[in-house]
Structure 1
Amino acid sequence: MTQYATFHDLKDQSVYITGGGSGIGASLTEGFMAAGAKVAFVQRSDSTEFCDQMEQKFGTRPLFMKCDITDVARLEETLDEAAAVHGPVTVLVNNAANDVRHKTAEMSVDDWDWNHAVNLRPHFFTTKHVVAGMKAAGGGAIINFSSASYGMGNAGYPAYVAAKAGIIGLTRTHAREFGPDNIRVNALVPGWVLTERQMELWATEEGLKEHLAGQCLKEHLVPQDVVDATLFLASKASRMMTAQAMVVDGGVVFTG
């Protein structure tokens, strides 16, 4: 839920989110439900309890489908199910990712392929699968989550950074390809959002202090910062925005 703006045109939109049951994804699910959208999401882990919470809060239940996004056939099945229940998907949010740390010297071919099967490949195949329905519906919005880590040139997870850079190129070419069908494709580029996972696995007092020093705005990002930006890109409030990479990182990475 956003306290800053209401995007009225999102009401009753059919929204599909990858990784929508935990972390930033759970906040996205809640934000779209608060806007009155019909939300479907996939998650590898069980999200029944989260759906119970959303139903209690909003009086309606998101459609949760268990799915490992490296399984493209299953991913396509869930897109079909979402369309059958909620109507053609008109807002696609490719959010799911895995930023597990790794070193170049330790990466095998299988490790590399798995990383891209999580962090880049789903963005292509979900888009491929929804465009026909979006075209029939008169248009749609696709939001691909990248990461400011590629703009910063971060070390410590090179395959992840490469995938996140690739998402920008994919976004631009798909925006050009599907623009004539009134389908907008944009990338959202979050900075370091302090989810529970980040705090548990990667955040240290020294690291947080160093990162904040590099931001123009001296406040750490929280999931809601990303939700507000995503709702804007999904809404017709951004109707003439496409092929763009919108950075939400407190002022670390420059684009333009």
Structure 2
Amino acid sequence: MAVPLAQSAIYPSLKDKTVVVTGGAEGIAAATVELFCRQGSKVIFFDISGTSADSLIKQIKQHQAEVNALPWTIPSFYYCDVTNLEQLRETAENVLKEHGTVDVLVNSAAAAGAKSRVPSVKVTPESWEFDINVNLRHVFFLTQRIVPAMQKQGRGSIINMGSISWRIPAVGTPVYMAAKAAIMGLTKTHSKEFGNEGVRVNSVMPGAIATERQIKEVLTKEYREEVMRNQTVKRDLVPQEVASVILFLASDDSSGVTGSSYVVDGGWVSDV
């Protein structure tokens, strides 16, 4: 099982670091925001759900109020639709103006909703564009906006959220899987492009993770049976288990790691 929050790892190198997390109000990204706040990082998260953002901030404030020697910080929420490139650009510029730089960028915003769940023969130009915009395009363009600040300071860590879905391979979400496969290629080329200036780029590829949304929309009895047949670890995986890997890749403890893709799937995929 996931390590209890109070016992999870502390990375001194993350204290006071400025961290940006996209799609940070729910799921794996919300768990990531929470763990960074526990490190004492200055956390900024983008999302379109103000209600979920408020709930997350309230939860973190409760942690802060508990008897705990660790310096919990409270994250800042920026409303941002990552599929709107102009809004994404303006939000990134506001972050840089207000905070000076970004030390860690976690590109985690993604979706595989009803629009994505169609076979290839039913994909339209409009549905293709939606899936690419929400799962891939913003990763490139937000990185493009943020990375010069990292290059200027000679350090930075970028973590892109992939998926094992294309590696299984699954069916029914072809454009989503194409976008997630592209994340690996983008990660590798950016690690080479930015590495000489101290910027590391890695990706994390989750398997079936029991987020609230997954439990409501995806983890049917039949699908969960499929998951248990394929996973070596015979239990539900939770968001914190993915967030813990993201935290490691953001910290100086992983200073020699770049261009890599870490799989968190309970043993479903044997190799990458």
Structures share a fold, TM > 0.5?
A: yes
Deviation at 1:49, TM superposition (A): 3.5
Note if contact 1:116-1:159 (Cα within 8 Å) is conserved in structure 2. Answer: yes
Match of 1:66 among 79, 91, 102: 79
- Mapped contact 2:38–2:73 kept (Cα < 8 A): no
Pairwise CA distance, 1:50:
2.5
Letter matched to residue 122 of structure 2: E
Q: Distance in 1 between matches of 2:110 and 2:46?
A: 12
State the match for 1:76 in structure 2: 89
Question: Taking structure 1 as reference, are residues 186 and 132 closer, same or farther at Cα in structure 2, changes over 3 Å only?
Answer: same
Per the alignment, residue 244 of structure 1 pairs with: 260
In 2, Cα distance between the equivalents of 1:5 and 1:65?
A: 27
Superposition deviation, residue 179 in structure 1: 0.3
Residue 138 (str. 1) matches residue 154 (str. 2): yes
Per the TM alignment, residue 210 of structure 1 is displaced from its structure 2 partner at its CA by 1.7
- Match for residue 56 of structure 2? 50
Task: Provide Cα deviations, 1:109-147, integer angstroms capped at 9, x if missing partner.
Answer: 011011000001111011111111101222100000000
| Offset at residue 27 of structure 1 (A) | 0.8
1:176 equivalent to 2:192? Answer yes
Deviations 1:190-209 (A, max 9, x none): 11101110111111112102
Bigger Cα displacement from structure 2, 42-51 vs 120-129:
42-51
1:32 aligns with 2:36: yes
Q: Which runs of 5+ in 2 are unaligned?
A: 65-71
Question: What is the CA-CA distance between 1:53 and the residue it aligns to?
Answer: 3.0
Quick one: structure 1 residues 223 and 136, their matched pair in 2 at CA, closer, same or farther if it must change by over 3 Å? same
Of the candidates 9, 15, 37, which is equivalent to residue 19 of structure 2?
15
Question: Which position in structure 1 is the counterpart of 2:105?
Answer: 92
Corresponding residue for 1:231? 247
Match of 1:149 among 145, 152, 165: 165
**Could you tell which deviates more after superposition, 110-119 or 209-218?**
209-218
SS in 1 for 2:167: helix
Assess if the C-alpha contact under 8 Å between 1:70 and 1:118 holds in 2: yes
Deviations 1:21-62 (A, max 9, x none): 111111111010001110001101112332233234336431
Residue 5 (structure 1) aligned with residue 9 (structure 2): yes
Q: Does 1:126 align with 2:142?
A: yes
Q: Shift of the alpha carbon at 1:237?
A: 0.8
Q: What is the CA-CA distance between 1:73 and the residue it aligns to?
A: 1.6
Q: Structure 2 counterpart of 1:205, which letter?
A: K
| Match status 1:211 vs 2:221 | no
Do the aligned residues in 2 keep the contact of 1:194 with 1:223 (CA within 8 Å)? yes
The one-character-per-residue Cα deviations of 1:153-184 (angstroms, maximum 9, x if unpaired) are 10010000000000000000000000001100
> When the two structures are superposed, what TM-score results if normalisation uses the length of structure 2?
0.90
Between the aligned partners of 2:126 and 2:26, the Cα distance in structure 1 is 26
Judged with a 3 Å threshold, the aligned counterparts in structure 2 of structure 1 residues 190 and 85 are, in CA distance, closer, same or farther, namely same
Provide closer, same or farther for how the CA distance between residues 2 and 127 of structure 1 changes in structure 2, counting only shifts above 3 A: farther
**Deviations 1:54-108 (Å, cap 9, x if unpaired)?**
2343364311111111011211222222223333011000011101222212211
> How far apart, in 2, do the equivalents of 1:140 and 1:102 lie?
38
Opposite residue 236 of structure 1, the aligned amino acid is: D
Query: Which amino acid in structure 2 is aligned with residue 151 of structure 1?
Result: R
Preserved contact between residue 106 and residue 160 of structure 2 (Cα < 8 Å) = yes
> Which has the higher mean CA deviation after the structures are superposed, 60-69 or 50-59?
50-59
Contact 2:41 2:73 in 1 (8 A): no
Change (3 A) 1:143 1:156: same
Structure 2 Cα separation of the partners of residues 216 and 60 of structure 1: 36
Which structure 1 segments of 5+ residues have no match?
Answer: none
- With 52-61 and 64-73 compared, the bigger mean Cα shift is at 52-61
